[in-house]
Structure 1
Amino acid sequence: MSAPASAPAPLPVPDGDVLSRIASWCREQDHRNSYLADLRRLVEQESPSDDKPLLDAIADLLQELLSERLGEPSRTVRHREPELGDVIEAEYDGTADGATVTVVGHYDTVWPAGTIAEWPFTLTDGTVSGPGAFDMKAGLAQGMWALRALRELGLPRPTVRFVFNGDEETGSVVSRPLIERATDGAAATLVLEPGGEWGIKAGRKGVGIFTLTATGLEAHAGLDPAKGASAIHALADVIRDLVAAAAPARGTTVNIGRISGGTARNVIAGEATCLVDVRVSTQEEIERVDRVLAGLVAADPRVTITVAGDWNRPPMQPGPGGRRLFALADGVATHIRAPLAELFVGGGSDANFVAALGRPVLCGMGATGDGAHARHEHVLVADLPDRVALTAGTLLGLAGEQGAARG
């Protein structure tokens, strides 16, 4: 019997004096002001997920900002998409031998075109607000400035492969395979989604997106009610059964986000649909919910129930490599400010795809604040320099890593 494999050695935390230099550089007023100026440019360039011209415009802006802050990339590819946002890959060579870190962020937002006119970029009372500021345009700027800090200070740095996508809010259908390819062989992946207070996201729930459709028989509600079979009534019954499958203690939630159906008040509905969002923490819960979905049957045999959709994102659970990566970031954070909070949240992100492949990944490396997808969306200005320093210090710690953290 072979001996069990030994656990990989911890990633070395950079010297405290060096981390203090990074933090001091990031906290300089001129650097903070320039960072905020970049954030303003990104927020004022609207980028709803369903507006291709606006998505193209912000992709152009991101490439412009990369060149302004970091120079021309060593390698760049822009994967053109006919309807969704393009995927930008921009790579900057490092000083370390062979170490590569993939830095991922999305530039699409949930806010429709024209929102900026009624909700402009605002800097007041220690916060920045505006559509997409928190989720996640602050993170995009942060990633650029973290690498710039290492370069300006003459410190070692890994090869950094930026991947910016424009379809995350709609499920990353186009960008997922590109993200999976871009993270293959990387020492680590850092996802610039918003963080939480002084913490980062080590775990996320999996996300299932489904549509239930009930198909019945139309009839006049007064003259021939017995000849009808109501799709709405049947859908209401199966919704009750599906919602009952939620198990919050196990991390499973079920939400019916929208219901539609029928044609008129006095017509027995021939068709009805509902949109379903399911969040789970484990693969076992995915399998259980799948069985529930497969078993949904209308009480009236004249009504059929069909289920469309799939699991958009698998659960993100930290493996050995992810825990090793968190320990590095925690060590960096402790020198800069304080130990990190290890957060486990219900929302999914592109980090879920990376974790599912057994690759070390940290999410929530971006800005702190609150209000993702809400009108009170905002970023805490005081935290911005330290969040940039956290990312820079983590990159520094990975500068000599050869990808052995996978697990």
Structure 2
Amino acid sequence: MSDLLADIETLVRCESPSSDHEAVARSAEVVAEVGLRLLGAEPERIVVDGVTHLRWRFGDGPPRVLLLGHHDTVWPHGSLETHPFSVRDGVLRGPGCFDMKAGVVMALHAAATVPDRDGLSILVTGDEEIGSPSSRALIEETAAGCDAAFVLEASADGGALKCRRKGVSHYRVEVVGRAAHAGLEPEKGVNAGIEISHQILAVAALADPMAGTSVTPTVVSAGTTVNTVPAAASVAVDVRVWDEAEQLRVDRAMRALPPVLEGAEVRVTGGINRPPLEAGSSAGLFALAQDLAGELGLGELTSASVGGASDGNYTAGIGIPTLDGLGAVGGGAHADHEHVVVAELPRRTALLAALVENVLAKRDPSGATNRAGESGTARR
């Protein structure tokens, strides 16, 4: 336990806001040093668009299991001064501890206990918090052909594993109108502010609460001065969906938005960012995790469906069985009360190690039942 806590402290004390590539590179070196000590192997350092990612691959055979995490955080420089690292009364605190530096350390410690790592890959990316723009292709390449991807994002409430995640799309709707003096001749203008209001209502109407589809206008801007008819306006749109069909429906509708005012133009950019992590992608692995938790004396595992997305959406999106939320138990991601429950760290690390060992040992990649009441997955 002491080594686990010390390594988490080391990572948390190296601030790594996603937007600062130099800070992310420094953090990558800290992660690499911890991994080298635990695994006896240097990672590949993969820099894409200035962002540093780390990858370990073991064995000469095909990939079987991927451990996936990220070492960037949402916390700006100086956060350690206002949110210092601490361990007190069984609770660990510090910027990025829950999301998800504890999870990265858990992955490395779990892998270190697996006696035969042939077929194991570990990928720690540096831009997940901003949508993984430079790492998506790397994630999909590394996951391709694997029997399982285990994502070390923090757990849901109460330690629940994340077995279903919404897909995410981001759009920007821009309106081009025509400026005019608001007092002298407003009738000669085309008011982009009014047009963007129509577009906001049209966008919001694409939501389907019964299907769990949210379409949320967020950041809005219009106009330049108080006495000018706005010539330009825009709105950002956040879309969350449970299934691919809904994601495609909303995408088609967004791209077909017509202008309402005569003379206005509407332009839509952006699109699908992450596909949904659907329940079927996690079902077999969650059943295995439940069985292993029982054998390890960890108690009953629960599952959760969450609106937030992760890099697990990408692995599930290419057809790889994916189980998410295997990282720290705690709460407060991105918030002042971010924390990790210390007692759960070794328990969840043991569960992860058992999952890796079992999937690496099995030979039926489908995980299908091969006789009544028994999974085709090998056991410890």
Q: Give the TM-score taking structure 2 as reference length.
A: 0.91
The corresponding residue for 2:121 is 161
Identity of counterpart residues, as a percentage?
Answer: 37
1:54 aligns with 2:23: yes
The corresponding residue for 1:345 is 306
8 Å contact 1:322–1:359 — kept in the other structure?
no
Distance 1:390 1:173 in 2: 31
Distance 1:406 1:250 in 2: 30
8 Å contact 1:109–1:132 — kept in the other structure?
yes
The corresponding residue for 2:263 is 302
SS in 2 for 1:399: helix
Q: Which consecutive aligned stretches of 4+ in structure 1 deviate over 3 angstroms post-superposition?
A: 156-159
1:124 aligns with 2:88: yes
| Residue correspondence of structure 1 range 80-95 to structure 2 within 5 A | 80-83=47-50, 85-93=51-59
Distance 1:370 1:220 in 2: 52
SS in 2 for 1:86: strand
8 Å contact 1:187–1:401 — kept in the other structure?
no
* Cα separation, partners in 2 of 1:82 and 1:99, compared to 1, 3 Å: closer
Residue 161 of structure 1: CA displacement? 0.9
8 Å contact 1:185–1:403 — kept in the other structure?
no
- What runs of 5+ residues in structure 2 fail to find an aligned partner? 369-380
Q: Which amino acid aligns with 2:108?
A: M
Q: Which amino acid aligns with 2:251?
A: D
Residue in structure 1 matching 2:46, options 59, 79, 93: 79
* Cα separation, partners in 2 of 1:271 and 1:98, compared to 1, 3 Å: closer
Distance 1:115 1:260 in 2: 30
| Residue correspondence of structure 1 range 386-401 to structure 2 within 5 A | 386-401=347-362
Q: Which has the higher contact order (CA 8 A, sep 6+)?
A: 1
Could you report, residue by residue, the CA deviation over 1:218-256 in whole angstroms, capped at 9, with x for unpaired residues? 111111111111111211121112112211221111222
1:271 aligns with 2:221: no
Distance 2:253 2:367 in 1: 34
Distance 2:118 2:343 in 1: 28
- What runs of 5+ residues in structure 1 fail to find an aligned partner? 1-31
RMSD over aligned Cα, in angstroms?
2.0
8 Å contact 2:160–2:304 — kept in the other structure?
yes
The corresponding residue for 1:360 is 321
| Residue correspondence of structure 1 range 6-405 to structure 2 within 5 A | 32-73=1-42, 76-83=43-50, 85-93=51-59, 100-151=64-115, 158-196=118-156, 197-319=158-280, 322-335=282-295, 336-402=297-363, 404-405=365-366
Q: Which amino acid aligns with 1:79?
A: I
Could you report, residue by residue, the CA deviation over 1:339-371 in whole angstroms, capped at 9, with x for unpaired residues? 211211111111111111111111111011112
8 Å contact 1:360–1:406 — kept in the other structure?
no
Could you report, residue by residue, the CA deviation over 1:362-393 in whole angstroms, capped at 9, with x for unpaired residues? 11110111122222221111211111111011
Residue 158 of structure 1: CA displacement? 5.0
Distance 1:406 1:57 in 2: 39
